[in-house]
Amino acid sequence: MPVNKPHLEFHRVDMSTGWSTPPGYPPGIEQKILAGALDEERRSGSRTACCALRQECSRPRPSSMNIGKRCI
């Protein structure tokens, strides 16, 4: 299966724009799609994304993960 993404190496990424909350995720969890051609209906293709957990994330950590921050 060929990978349908541009071959991009060592380029600058604008980390201040392009973030969105993926469908079904709570506010505070965001993704920035970097490259790819993912056909979600056919469940084929590929995607490269950067994910971020923001301070406003309201999902508590499991009690077994007593690390200090509240988001997972």
- Could you report the per-residue pLDDT of 25-41, keeping only the tens digit for each? 888 899 999 888 888 88
What was the pLDDT predicted at 72? 47
Mean pLDDT computed over every residue of the chain:
77
**pLDDT band with cut points at 50, 70 and 90 for residue 21:** very high
Contacts of 27 (CB under 8 A, 6+ apart): 21, 54, 56, 57, 58
Locus of tokens 């051609």: 37
SS3 category, 11: coil
Nearest by Cα to 28 from 68, 65, 58: 58
Question: How far is it, in rounded angstroms, from Cα 7 to Cα 46?
Answer: 13
Beta strands in 1-72 (DSSP E): 29-39, 44-53
Q: What percent of the chain has pLDDT over 70?
A: 68
For the chain, domain boundaries: 17-72
